[in-house]
Amino acid sequence: MSAVTTVYLGTGRRKTSTARVRLIAGSGKYLANDLSFDAYFKHDNFARRAAAPLTTVDSKDKFDVIANIAGGGTSAQAGAVAHGIARALLKFNAELRVTLKKAGHLTRDPREKERKKPGQPGARKRFQFSKR
């Protein structure tokens, strides 16, 4: 029979991507869709951005992170994972709120793609004006 482990859940979002994050007390193993962060996020900056909340609170080697990510691009997915980790850390310890808030990890990035308007080629672009 295995020992009972506490799992802290957090959902992170950015643009059109969503990350469901589980934090488990462990040795610092990070998985994103069953791949390591380094294998999933091709560029090192994305892996670093995803694990940023753990670096902020000096808990990089205290937790194992398992993230299920859907939608969006690589950059948005990294931001969603970071948001999810920050929210899960709050469930672990509510006193970390001030530190995470000051670092900007708890704020959801509200920027979304603007819709295309009728009679235009894009959201903001207009067809060329011709006087005659």
**Pairwise CA distance, residues 67 & 53, whole Å:** 14
pLDDT for 22 equals: 95
Residue 13 has pLDDT above 70, yes or no: yes
Which pLDDT does position 4 carry in this prediction? 78
**Is the CATH number of domain 7-103 3.40.630.30?**
no
Distance CA 45, CA 87 (A): 21
| Tokens 């990510």 found at | 69
pTM of the model: 0.89
Q: What average pLDDT does the chain have?
A: 93
Q: What angle do CA 101, 103, 109 make, to 5 degrees?
A: 75
Domain residue limits, the chain = 7-103
What digits encode the pLDDT tens for the residues 34-84? 999 999 999 999 999 999 999 999 998 999 999 999 999 999 999 999 999
